[in-house]
A and B are shown apart, each in its own frame.
Chain A
Amino acid sequence: MQGVKLPVTVKCEINVLLIAVTVLGLLTRLYGIHIPASVVFDEVYYGQFVSLYMKRVFFIDESGPPLGHMILALGGYLGDFDGNFVWNRIGAEYTSNVPVWTLRLIPALCGSLCVPLGYLLVVELGYSHFTALGASLLLLMENSLIVQSRFMLLDSVLIFFLLLAVVSYLRFHKAPKSSLWKWLWLFLSGTSCAFAVGVKYMGLFTYLLLLGLAAVHTWHVIGDKTLCNVKHLNTIVVVRFLVLVVMPALLYLGFFYVHLILLYRSGPHDQMMSSAFQASLEGGLSRITQGQPLEVAFGSQVTLRSASSKPLPCWLHSHKANYPIRYENGRGSSHQQQVTCYPFKDVNNWWIIKDPSRQSLVVSSPPRPVRHGDIIQLLHGMTSRFLNTHDVAAPMSPHSQEVTGYIDFNVSMPAQNLWRVDITNRESDRDVWKTILSEVQLIHVNTSAVLKLSGASLPDWGFRQLEVVGDKIYKGYQQSGVWNVEEHRYGKSHEQKERELELKSPTHDDISRNLTFMAKFIELQWKMLTVRNEESEHKYSSLPLEWITMDTNIAYWLHPSNNAQIHLIGNSVTWTLANLALFIYVLLFLTYLLRRRRKIEDIPEACWEQLVLAGVVCSGGWVVNYLPFFLMEKTLFLYHYLPALTFQILQIPVVVEHLYTHVLRSPSQHKAFGGVILAALCSVYFCYRIFSPLTYGQPELTSEELAALRWRDSWDILFRKR
């Protein structure tokens, strides 16, 4: 390669190459992205969030942090999307109000920029521009990356930020000491790390790799004894820490801040959040709870919501139906009125708080607030039964006590309806019970059982509502034993009839309650990490082991009437080469490592360091983005492999250049190897061409042509029966 004379204007030459690959990247990714004008694969998933952003409606998505959705929504914003589209079916035609082109533009741009970034990355690793060109060409002609970039999906955005983070870190590392540019590169690296993590949690893997690399480099700086000024050294270390650790964390918080600012209306996922959180959203619960009295008093009418949302968020409930005298398994019950937990708003969710020493069911003036430790009775609003528990086994959880609305059958079973209020998040022991904000345990006075949601649901006689029990061996803090007052009003009516009317009317008044941003963030983040959708296998889901050999594909879209279709299928030649390159790299690395240990130096020190750095970035990037999937229990798809694949592809030119300059020595070998490289590039190109109908969804292929493209038996290619 030294033989090739570069033109005099070297700098210009680089730019031309770089610009050329960028243009090619843009062409391959942006060409006809508005076709097909129908929902393609996971667009059906991300699209609903874009719509919700457009409508400013709050939602929770447990699959990743909000930045990715926000970037997609930016596309919708640019195209003046009003959010009115029903995202329910893959293949549904877009209506004219959906700006398909702009929605798909940002991922496609990110995907195109990955090509020049690959070029820059290889250059930064210290390899020649030829090698870098090779790297960018391989990325350019990778069908799977193209497919993933051309639709409203997040993986290309993620890969873009990952590459940007690595490139800018390498720039930082190589830049001369303490120039302004150096610190700007570091800043860019930290920022893109934060963006990558903000798009998908998966970005964390590469971020950790980068942190590890930075830690090793910093460790060398610490060991550098020419740096005598300890103060200067401390600044170096502290600045790196601030930019690479603290700043990304702050940016991550920032994403959530913007997310919460943008989404201020209540929406479909409200019920997953606590009452306090819901009250902070416009509409929904806040419409009801706005202006409720804050302090719960004797005579208050309340609904009690369980703090646990497992299996469902629900309210303490009772109704005019008794426990059956005998259950299916022959056990007996008290036959008193059922008390359950009901996941829907209902007039039967209302309870009245009564002072055991007085008869009054209304709030006195001034109201006497209920405090921590007070003894109360709870009267069911519609049926006037007292909340009661006694030493009878609960229907589904026989080790706990049954909870009933007390009915006196005159069978020497006295009422045990006194409960002690225990505010778990109290600040002092005389805290007042507050609407929404206080988390309360209700402890039964006679048996010290705790009112708790057991998690089981009742059979048909209990209308499949959730079981509520008194737990005698309750320990520690369990969410299922904690309740809070959600709707609340001061009772005014003395008569039962009036009261029923009052219960059916909405509550009102005027006070607003605000949660701090940190409280909201912590709750939202915690919910996102803990809420688990029922994971089941998908028709196109796959196992990590199938990814290396591409034994699986995903059908993204099929034309409603003919055979045109889009698949996530990679460039088989590139995938094979990448595996081969990784294997050769490991072999080379181990050989050099062992021989160096015996003080046999095959390659100069600088060259060895270059090889190690390239290995850490490329192979390391592959390892950290691939191996963790073996430990994950969620549903996995082929596209999860793409970040790992990108790094693996970058390994190919690195290995090729190393073989060319250091392993093959004679000119004839060089010539032969050059031929091999050329042949490989050509076959990569042909493979790209052959599969491009499945990549771009056009032109339509005949069934025979499709059958010829089914290179592996395990690929699902769709044939339309005529």
Chain B
Amino acid sequence: MEGRCGEGSHTQSPSCAAVRSRKPCMDTGKHREKASSKKTEPRRATRPSSSDTRGLNGTSTEKRLRYSDCDYTPLCPLLSVAALSLCTRFYRITEPPHVCWDETHFGKMGSYYINRTFFFDVHPPLGKMLIGLAGYLTGYDGTFPFIKPGDKYEHHNYWGMRGFCAVLGSCLPPFAFLVVLELSHSTPAALITASLLIFDTGYITLSQYILLDPILMFFIMGAVLSMVKFNHQRLRPFSWSWWLWLLLTGVNLSGSLGVKFVGLFNILLVGINTAWDLWRLLGDLHLSLVDFMKHLIARMFGLIMLPLFLYTTIFAVHFVILNRSGPGDGFFSSAFQSRLIGNNLHNATMPEYLAYGSIITLKNLRIAGGYLHSHWHLYPEGVGAHQQQVTAYLHKDYNNLWLVKRPNSDDFTWNPELIRHGDIIRLEHKETTRNLHSHLHEAPLTKKHLQVTGYGINGTGDPNDLWQVEVCGGKKGDPVKVLRSKVRLLHRSTGCVLYSSGKTLPKWGWEQVEVTCSPYLKETPNSQWNIEDHVNPKLPNISLHVLKPSFLEILLESHIVMIRGNSGLKPKDNEINSKPWHWPINYQGLRFSGVNETEYRVYLLGNPVIWWLNLFSLGLFVVMVSLCCVALQRGAKLGGTKKAHCQVLMEGGGLLFLGWLLHYLPFYTMGRILYYHHYFPAMLFSSMLTGLTLDTFLQNADLLFSPAVSKYILRGGQIVLLVGILHSFYLFHPLSYGMNGPLAHDPTSSMAGLRWLDSWEF
């Protein structure tokens, strides 16, 4: 069988032949379904099926098919790749025994899952849930506080979480191996790729700690692998292996999106690939429209419905697990908070209707809108009137409390009187005794609106402190229900409405959210408020059941909160931040642990030899592919292998290049703060492209040299690559496995002479 495979590989022209011989293949697909259904292991299933094809189709065109059908996975290299990557990732995994870098966040969030306390994070929950699960299964009890990097773990079981991440991180080289093998049908290309990833210090470092990146990259590579495998199944549509890879692609997509929103780029890649595939199918006139619709619906199910379902399931699990009040409460609406055990809105009792003399907090109804807030600080010079700031604030705080007063007297001696729709009130800030005030000055950020300030001393102010209460959908005389009524506050003298714009104030406003008075009276959530806390000793407390929000509402709310949080991560002034163009040239790494000579230092930095090789290969690929395209466009007559190489470059290489672009370019448009490790998903694609490009390049040495010489060049090139990668790994391995003693400028250091760029910090 091996011999015949080899024979097949000489006459390779997979996809042209494939299109021509669609019909018989679909027939064989059915046979194969039967044949392979007996087997349980998916990867082996292709082998019996290939012999199946050969038995059925003996014509000359079908012979050409063999190549793609009979290609098998070389087990021995694959296993050694897997073994090597496990070894490199697990070597000294428990070192250093203290919190490194972002472990402080993700470890802490893992603990939150174990303790079931609600928290807020800008990333979707899957990654942290898996970390929590891994910790739980390996006996971590969630008691370690993860306060700051450098804290010693001592007796806590942290190896389980690190090990879990390392296992997922070790899957990357084998996956990349399989992808490149599938795209190029060349084991050397796959081996080059795998060795780039195995011996890259960056990937090793990133896989050894409790981080989201190994989990994210696992799913990304999983999706790419399944997609490529699925593409390969195009000759046998609707066979069970076809379905398997389709569904696996969907599962991995939901996984990658469930870990970080970067997964969206991955979805885009799969989406473009699928659209291209469908376009091809649509142009195939042998395929009836009904069949085409079947293809379309199958893909919609596998790549849209299924991932969407899984993704929502992840969130459902997240909300079910986290049912206790925690640090993330204030980011969410009153209704949402009532779900959390321990929150003061959970089974709350308070007076039902708003009355004069009540002390209240007002929450904006915009999703992730804050509480109406004021504090002792004034608006700075030049920003409207020099009066006290009024903002919206997301955290619970005693500065959110306001006292409701009559328009003209501060007397509350008589029986409490309810406030009704249309009544005029004043709101006094409890802590500073200033009244909520507005006037004809521009608001600080939204220049079309008016400024809102705190004004007056001890509750005495002027007519600009008067606000008219309006219950949305209510009529004159309706009382104001706590928690349930949507209330608008209309400013009496200017006629504008109290409004939260959602824009973050600069430093002088403590980066809280702007509150303005809007002259546009349209009813939007920005101008609607609800009364969340309500204290009035003269009124009876009644148990209030807040309408529990539906799951979809929670889902939408948490997404908007996450997106806001993400775009709120702005780079601080005077801080040198990483720029996207730094990344491919390996300009600067990240300190994972330790700064000076006495400490145990780990520094996240890619192996420069590998990274610069990748950069070079990107350029080489563009040149080679352009040559190919021009040659084909000019109608040059290419020999069999040359044509196949062109095909590999344009299709396989093109796919990987697109993947690299999609995972890299969007960062240029992002306003949020960026870090070096954001490049690693793109780097996966770049490494795979390098394997494919360099292998094709070496194989085509005969374009320039005589065949005998080119054979030596091929072998020599492969050996040089391998030796170069191994040697550079030997040189730079202390970056991942820890450095002790003097820094690199000292000749006795283990890194002496290796600080090739001044920007590297070791």
Contacts and interface: CB of A to CB of B under 8 A. Distances in A.
B758 A538 contact: no
A473 B595 CA distance: 10
Interface stretch (A104-112, A207-215, A593-601, A610-618): A593-601
Interface stretch (B46-54, B88-96, B629-637): B629-637
A631 B669 contact: yes
Contact of B574 (A454, A476, A594): A454
B671 A714 contact: no
B446 A537 contact: yes
Interface string A593-631: 010011100000000000000000000000000000001
Interface string B424-444: 000000000000000000100
B761 interface: yes
Interface string B255-296: 000000000000000000000000100110100010000000
Given A222-B630, A597-B279, A631-B669, A475 B761 contact: yes
A455 B520 contact: no
B283 A222 contact: no
B758 A476 contact: yes
Interface string B652-692: 00000000000000000101000000000000000000000
A599 B285 CA distance: 8
A225 B761 CA distance: 57
Nearest to B575: A455
A631 B669 CA distance: 7
Q: Which of A454, A476, A539, A594 has the most CB of B within 10 A?
A: A476
Interface in B747-762: 758-759, 761
Majority SS at the chain B contact face:
loop
A368 to B, nearest CB: 30
A478 B575 CA distance: 12
Nearest to A456: B574
Nearest to B573: A455
A597 B447 contact: no
B576 interface: yes
Given A537-B447, A713-B520, A475 B759 contact: yes
A176 interface: no
B377 interface: no
B448 A539 contact: yes
A537 B759 CA distance: 38
A536 B445 contact: yes
A225 B595 CA distance: 64
A454 B575 CA distance: 10
Contacts of B759: 475-476
A327 interface: no
Contacts of B630: 222
Interface residues of B, number: 26
A223 interface: yes
A705 interface: no
A633 B671 contact: yes
A633 B758 CA distance: 33
Contacts of A473: 595, 761
Contacts of B574: 454-456
Nearest to A220: B633
Q: Which of B282, B283, B633 has the most CB of A within 10 A?
A: B633
A222 B630 CA distance: 8
Contacts of B279: 597
A219 interface: yes
Nearest to B280: A597
A223 B636 CA distance: 11
A222 B634 contact: yes
Given A476-B759, A537-B445, A599-B285, A223 B520 contact: no
Interface residues of A, number: 25
A104 B289 CA distance: 61
A633 B634 CA distance: 45
Nearest to A541: B447
A475 B755 CA distance: 12
A536 B759 CA distance: 35
Given A476-B759, A594-B282, A599-B285, A539 B633 contact: no
Interface string A471-488: 001011110000000000
A544 to B, nearest CB: 14
A537 B285 CA distance: 56
A536 B447 contact: yes
Contacts of B283: 597-598
Interface string B572-592: 011010000000000010000
Contacts of A631: 669
Contacts of A538: 447
Interface string A383-400: 000000000000000000
A562 B588 CA distance: 63
Nearest to A454: B574
Contacts of A454: 574
B505 to A, nearest CB: 12
Interface string B619-638: 00000000000100111000
A401 B279 CA distance: 64
Contact of A714 (B282, B445, B520, B573): B520
Given A537-B445, A631-B669, A475 B758 contact: yes
Contacts of B520: 713-714
Contacts of B448: 537, 539
Interface string B63-103: 00000000000000000000000000000000000000000
Nearest to B519: A716
A222 B446 contact: no
Contact of B447 (A475, A539, A594, A598): A539
B521 to A, nearest CB: 9
Nearest to A628: B669
A139 to B, nearest CB: 31
Contacts of B588: 476
Contacts of A223: 633-635
B582 to A, nearest CB: 11
Q: Which of B283, B289, B448 has the most CB of A within 10 A?
A: B448
A469 B630 CA distance: 58
A473 B283 CA distance: 62
B414 to A, nearest CB: 43
Given A454-B574, A536-B447, A539-B447, A598 B282 contact: yes
Interface in B433-475: 442, 445-448
B501 to A, nearest CB: 9
A477 B279 CA distance: 51
A714 B285 CA distance: 53
A340 B758 CA distance: 28
A713 B282 CA distance: 48
A631 B670 CA distance: 9
Given A456-B574, A714-B520, 9 more contacts: A225-B634, A473-B761, A477-B758, A536-B447, A537-B448, A539-B442, A597-B282, A598-B283, A713-B522
Interface of B: 279, 282-283, 285, 289, 442, 445-448, 520, 522, 573-574, 576, 588, 595, 630, 633-635, 669, 671, 758-759, 761
25 contacts: A219-B633, A222-B630, A223-B635, A225-B635, A455-B574, A473-B595, A475-B758, A475-B759, A476-B759, A477-B758, A478-B576, A537-B446, A537-B447, A539-B448, A594-B282, A597-B279, A597-B282, A597-B283, A598-B285, A598-B289, A599-B285, A633-B671, A713-B520, A713-B522, A714-B520
Interface of A: 219, 222-223, 225, 454-456, 473, 475-478, 536-539, 541, 594, 597-599, 631, 633, 713-714
For the complex of A and B, list the 9 residue pairs with the smallest distance between their C-beta atoms, beginning with the closest: A455-B574, A476-B759, A223-B633, A537-B447, A539-B447, A597-B282, A597-B283, A631-B669, A476-B758
